[in-house]
Structure 1
Amino acid sequence: DEEITASLNFLRGLGAPTKNWVMCYPYGANDEKLRALLRRNGCAIGLTIDEGVADAAKDDPLQLPRLDTIELPIT
């Protein structure tokens, strides 16, 4: 809770928006308590370390998978 509050205060100090922001979970760690905290603080999207393509129609916006660009083929 303190880390999120401190981070948002830092962003406010820079004049950056603090609504509808994106969280990239450190090492992918997250749980329902953290996601509830993020919702209360205006977080719109949470990116996990789970590899995959997000489905906006069914995925929880605070538990979205992502593609690791290191794993993508280069052609």
Structure 2
Amino acid sequence: MPTRPPHYLRVADDIEAKITSGEYAPGQQLPSVSEIGEIYRVARSTAYRAVKELHARDLVYGQQGQGVFVAGAEQ
């Protein structure tokens, strides 16, 4: 019986799908980690791991004190 992926990967995969579909456009700010936790009903630490995963996939970049943005626009 296959196991389900960890929650943070499911959240990261869903956000990646939204980026790919254009729902989150290049340069657009993502919801905060706290908001992602609320949207996906996961712990803040899980939402943080999902955002770290998106960084590892080079889909987003952070601006100190401003938030996390979709990559693809001028960074």
Give the TM-score taking structure 1 as reference length: 0.34
Q: Which has the higher helix share?
A: 2
Q: TM-score w.r.t. structure 2 length? A: 0.34
Greater RCO between the two (CA within 8 Å, min separation 6)?
Answer: 2
